[in-house]
Structure 1
C-alpha cells in the first residue's frame, strides 16, 4: 500500500469515526459484559485524565489496532486506529497484543505491538507513539531484543526506583520452556539494554506448555503479575489466568497456590490476557473471553471484572458475569454516501481500491485473498443475523461479480488460508459458492436476467454456522441455497467476519448501493 494512499486513508478515518460506538446500557454494577463486544482479543486499557482508552489485537485485519474511548468503562466509541492506513512498511501479518502505556511526564502515549518482520519472517515486538491518544501515531519499528528469538506480549512498568522495564516473552517452541522476561528499556522506548531477567516460567501442571500475556501492577507492598496459560485460541481452548507476586520487580516471584484465579464460568470460557487498572480504591481487570455457546464463531470479546482480595493479600474474582442479550446486538446500515465508515476492515496484505459517493460503493474487483476477491468486512457480533445488499449491475463492470459473504479459514489452525461462503451476482449468473484453499465450489447458480439490473442479495446466518442465501428483484425473495454448513471454516482465534466482495479483473468495479445487517 503506497504512502499517498495511507495518507488519504488517515485523513478519511480521522474525519469519519462517528457510527462505530459500542454502546451498552449500564447495569446496577456500572457495566455490562461484554463491554467490548465482538472480536477484541488481548485488550489493553489506560486512563488519561478522566478518559479511558483501550485497544485490542487486529490479527490479519486492517486498519490495525483500534483506539476506543470511554468515560464510564461501559460505553466505548471507536475514535481512531494506530495504523489507519494499514500495515507499517516493515511488517506483513500477525498483528497481536497492543499494549497502551501513557507517559504523563512526556505527555505521550506509547503502543507496544507485535508483527511479523518482512526481512526475517520472525514475530517481534515493535513500538509506536502519539502526542494524543487519538493519533496520529508514529511508528518506531521493531525493538531489537534479540536477533535469534521471536518476541511477543510486551508490557512496561517501573520498579521502585523509577527505572523503566519492558516485560516480554519468547514465542513458544515445542519442547522448550515458556518464559516471561524483564529487561530495561530507554525512556524513548526505542531500545532495550542490559541483561534480560527471568520472572516466571511454565513450571506448574495447570499451565501446560505456555505462560504469556503478562500484566504487572503494584498494590501496597507487592508487585502482582497476572499471566495467561494453556491453549488460547482455537476450538479446543482451555486458557486460564494465574497470578504471582513479589516485593521486588525482578523477583523472586511467588505463584499463588490457588491458581488459576480466573477460569470458565457457565457463560464464558477461556479467559485470558488483559490489563489491570485502578478506579478509586478498587482494581479492575479488562480481559478477553469466548462465549461458551457460539464464542468460536464470534471471537474473543472484552470483559470487565472487579478484583477482590483475600485476607493475606491475594487477588481473586467472583466472575459471575452473564451475557446481556442486548449488549452485543448492534445492527448496521451503510449506503456509502460519505467516506468509508471506519467499522469496515480489509486484509492487512490486501491492496484496497474503492470509491464512495451518492451511488454507493464502487469496489474494485480482484483475485486476491486466496481467490476470494477484494473484501471489506466487519466482525460478527452474534450467532443469528441477516445481511442484505443492493447491487446495481448497470453501473458495474461486465466481467465482475459482487455480493456478500461469511469469511473464515480453511481450518481452525494458526495461519490457515482464507475461506469464504457467499452469494454474488454478475451480468450472467447469481452464484452461491465456497472458496477454500484457492479452490471454488458452486453450490447453486441461477440466471441473473429475471432479476434485472437492481438486484438484492441476502445471507441468513443461524446458530453461528447455518447459512441460507436468497435473491430478490425487490418484490419477493427466492431462496437459492439453504442449510449450508460453515462449521468447518471457523478461523483460529478471531471468529467469522461478514462482508462485501468484488471478484474479477482489477480494472473493473462492482456497484453496491447499500448493505444492512440485522441481528435476530
Structure 2
C-alpha cells in the first residue's frame, strides 16, 4: 500500500496519531427566529448590526447586535416610542448605511393619508437615538425598499423600487444620487431594470447591493412575498457601473424554496472571515404564515464565472429544533418591560412594572389595549395569571392570539365572568360566557395546534384546569394572520379610561 493510501485509510478509520482536518463551521441558521421580515445587516468596526421590518407593530425597527453573525441581542429600536410625524403605517425594509462615524437608516413607511415613501433617519451611534429626516422619495404608485450604495466614483446613490404592482403596473428599480448630507435626492433618477423575466412575476423588489471584483451585484426578490400562496424567490444581477447596464443571471432564481423553507427573499449581503452570506427571510414550512417570515443566514460562494451560488439553490438552514429555548417566562421583575414586547402602531399602552406585576391601562376599543410577543412555533401553550378580585367593574383582562387589532381570539375575564371573544375583520362576537366564583387570582390558558385550532381553559388554583365549552372543543383560527405578519400572543385590557388590569406573569411553552 502506498503512503498516500495508508494515510487515507488511517484518516478514515480515525487512527491514533492522525488528526482529521477540522470541519467547516456552518453558518446556515435561523438567526432571527420569529416574525422578522426583510432583514438588513451591516458591519461597523468589529460588530454586526441587524434590523427588520416592523409593519404595524411597535416599537419600530428593532436593532440587534452580534460579534459572530449567529448570536444576536436586541438592544434598541430606531423609533422606540415616538413615530415620525409624517408617517402612519407600513414600516418596512430598513437598511443601514454607515459613513464617517454616522449611521443612517433608510426605510419605508406610508405617508399619512398618502403613498408609500422611502425616508431616512440618522444617529451618532448605530443603537441610536435616531433623528428622522423625512421623505426622500414618494412616487404616485409608491416607493419602497431603499438601499444606499456608492457608485464607482464614490458618489452615494439611493436605490429603490417603484411599487407599480400596487396598481397593476411594472416595478422598475431606480437609482438617484444623494446629497452630501445623505438626507435628500439630487439630480435625475435612472431606471436600472424592471420585472421582465417570467419567474419574477408581477414585481422585482428588495434590492441589496455589494461590490466584488469590479462588479456591482444586486440581490433582489421577485414574485409574491407573503401568505399561503407566496412564491417569492431571490435573483441576482450585475453591472460594471452602478447605473448600468445591468445583466440578470441566466440561472435566476439563485435562491428558491425547498421542503424546509418557503419563499426566501429580501436580504442583505455580509461577509465574515472571507465567507459570504445573505441574511434574508423565509417561512418555515411547518409553521408558515402563523409564525411569519424568519431571518435566515445563507452562505454563498462565487463561481468561476463570478456569479454567486447557494448550495442546492435553496436555504440550507435546518428547521428550528429544541423549541424549549424559545419559551417565554416573564415574571415582570425589575421596573420596566423587556424590549421584546410589542403593541399596535400608534396604540402604545400605558404600563407600569412594579413588585413583580404588570399594570396595563385599559382601552375602550374593540379588543382593548394590547401588549404582545412574537411566536416561534405554530403549536404552543400560553398562560397568564391576573388579579381577578382587583379588576374594576366593566373592565376585562385577558389573553389573546392576535393577528392585528381587527382579528383575534381572546379569553377575557371581568364582571365575575369568563368570555371568549371572536374578532374577525373588526366584527366582534362573544362566543361563550360562564360565571366564576369570587377568587383572588385567575389563570388563563390558550392552547394552539398548527396555528389553526385553538382551545381555552382557566384555573382558580393554578393546577386544576377547566376547559371552556366550545363547539367541537376547538376554535378555528386560520383567519388570524394578516397577509404580511405572523400571529402574536397578547395580554389585553379592555375598559374605560383610567381603569387598569394587573398581570402576575406571562408564559409561552412551544411544541413541535
> Would you say the 8 A contact 1:34–1:328 is kept in 2?
no
Tell which deviates more after alignment, 89-98 or 427-436: 427-436
Deviation at 1:422, TM superposition (A): 1.2
Select which of 164, 174, 177 maps to 1:184: 177
> Would you say the 8 A contact 2:387–2:440 is kept in 1?
yes
- Secondary structure of 1:407's match? strand
Q: Which residue does the alignment assign to 1:116? A: 110
Residue correspondence of structure 1 range 78-477 to structure 2 within 5 A: 78-103=74-99, 106-118=100-112, 120-143=113-136, 145-146=137-138, 148-172=140-164, 173-318=166-311, 319-326=315-322, 329-337=325-333, 338-358=335-355, 360-368=357-365, 371-409=366-404, 418-449=406-437, 452-474=439-461, 475-477=463-465
- Looking at structure 1, the residues matched to 157 and 329 of structure 2 have their Cα atoms a distance apart, in angstroms, of 45
> Would you say the 8 A contact 2:141–2:167 is kept in 1?
no
Per-residue Cα deviation, 1:371-405 (whole angstroms, up to 9, x for no partner): 11100001111112111111112332111001101
Deviation at 1:86, TM superposition (A): 4.1
Deviation at 1:359, TM superposition (A): 5.4
Tell which deviates more after alignment, 85-94 or 65-74: 85-94
> Would you say the 8 A contact 1:285–1:305 is kept in 2?
yes
Q: Which residue does the alignment assign to 1:502? A: 493
> Would you say the 8 A contact 1:152–1:170 is kept in 2?
yes
- Looking at structure 2, the residues matched to 502 and 256 of structure 1 have their Cα atoms a distance apart, in angstroms, of 53
Tell which deviates more after alignment, 484-493 or 61-70: 484-493
- Looking at structure 1, the residues matched to 280 and 236 of structure 2 have their Cα atoms a distance apart, in angstroms, of 14
Q: Which residue does the alignment assign to 2:476? A: 485
> Would you say the 8 A contact 2:234–2:265 is kept in 1?
yes
- Looking at structure 1, the residues matched to 324 and 80 of structure 2 have their Cα atoms a distance apart, in angstroms, of 24
> Would you say the 8 A contact 1:393–1:427 is kept in 2?
no
Corresponding residue pairs, total: 480
> Would you say the 8 A contact 1:37–1:381 is kept in 2?
yes
Deviation at 1:186, TM superposition (A): 1.3
Name the CA shift for 1:258/1:359 in 2 (closer, same or farther; >3 Å): closer
- Looking at structure 1, the residues matched to 260 and 318 of structure 2 have their Cα atoms a distance apart, in angstroms, of 6
> Would you say the 8 A contact 2:58–2:348 is kept in 1?
no
Name the CA shift for 1:296/1:141 in 2 (closer, same or farther; >3 Å): same
Deviation at 1:61, TM superposition (A): 0.4
> Would you say the 8 A contact 2:51–2:61 is kept in 1?
yes
- Looking at structure 1, the residues matched to 353 and 275 of structure 2 have their Cα atoms a distance apart, in angstroms, of 47
> Would you say the 8 A contact 1:421–1:434 is kept in 2?
yes
Name the CA shift for 1:45/1:328 in 2 (closer, same or farther; >3 Å): farther
Query: Any stretches of 5+ residues in structure 1 without a counterpart?
Result: 1-26, 410-416
- Secondary structure of 2:181's match? coil
Name the CA shift for 1:351/1:217 in 2 (closer, same or farther; >3 Å): closer
| TM-score, length basis structure 1 | 0.89
- Looking at structure 1, the residues matched to 286 and 343 of structure 2 have their Cα atoms a distance apart, in angstroms, of 27
Per-residue Cα deviation, 1:413-463 (whole angstroms, up to 9, x for no partner): xxxx7211010111321011211233222222211216x131111111121
- Looking at structure 2, the residues matched to 399 and 67 of structure 1 have their Cα atoms a distance apart, in angstroms, of 39
> Would you say the 8 A contact 2:363–2:496 is kept in 1?
yes
- Looking at structure 2, the residues matched to 290 and 471 of structure 1 have their Cα atoms a distance apart, in angstroms, of 32
| TM-score, length basis structure 2 | 0.91
- Looking at structure 1, the residues matched to 176 and 465 of structure 2 have their Cα atoms a distance apart, in angstroms, of 62
Per-residue Cα deviation, 1:342-375 (whole angstroms, up to 9, x for no partner): 111001121422222115111111133xx11100
RMSD: 1.6
Q: Which residue does the alignment assign to 1:23? A: none
> Would you say the 8 A contact 1:216–1:223 is kept in 2?
yes
Tell which deviates more after alignment, 221-230 or 485-494: 485-494
- Secondary structure of 2:173's match? strand
> Would you say the 8 A contact 1:32–1:327 is kept in 2?
no
Per-residue Cα deviation, 1:190-215 (whole angstroms, up to 9, x for no partner): 11011111111011111111000001
> Would you say the 8 A contact 1:30–1:74 is kept in 2?
no
Deviation at 1:335, TM superposition (A): 2.4
Displaced runs of 4+ in structure 1, greater than 6 A? none
Q: Which residue does the alignment assign to 1:15? A: none
- Looking at structure 2, the residues matched to 161 and 139 of structure 1 have their Cα atoms a distance apart, in angstroms, of 28
Deviation at 1:498, TM superposition (A): 0.5
> Would you say the 8 A contact 1:271–1:290 is kept in 2?
yes
Name the CA shift for 1:359/1:37 in 2 (closer, same or farther; >3 Å): closer
Name the CA shift for 1:328/1:279 in 2 (closer, same or farther; >3 Å): farther
- Secondary structure of 1:196's match? strand
Name the CA shift for 1:28/1:427 in 2 (closer, same or farther; >3 Å): farther
- Looking at structure 1, the residues matched to 180 and 309 of structure 2 have their Cα atoms a distance apart, in angstroms, of 33
> Would you say the 8 A contact 1:32–1:324 is kept in 2?
no
Query: Any stretches of 5+ residues in structure 2 without a counterpart?
Result: 1-22
- Looking at structure 2, the residues matched to 157 and 453 of structure 1 have their Cα atoms a distance apart, in angstroms, of 60
> Would you say the 8 A contact 1:270–1:289 is kept in 2?
yes
Deviation at 1:279, TM superposition (A): 2.0
Per-residue Cα deviation, 1:152-181 (whole angstroms, up to 9, x for no partner): 100011111111110011112343211001
Per-residue Cα deviation, 1:40-65 (whole angstroms, up to 9, x for no partner): 00000010111101000000000000
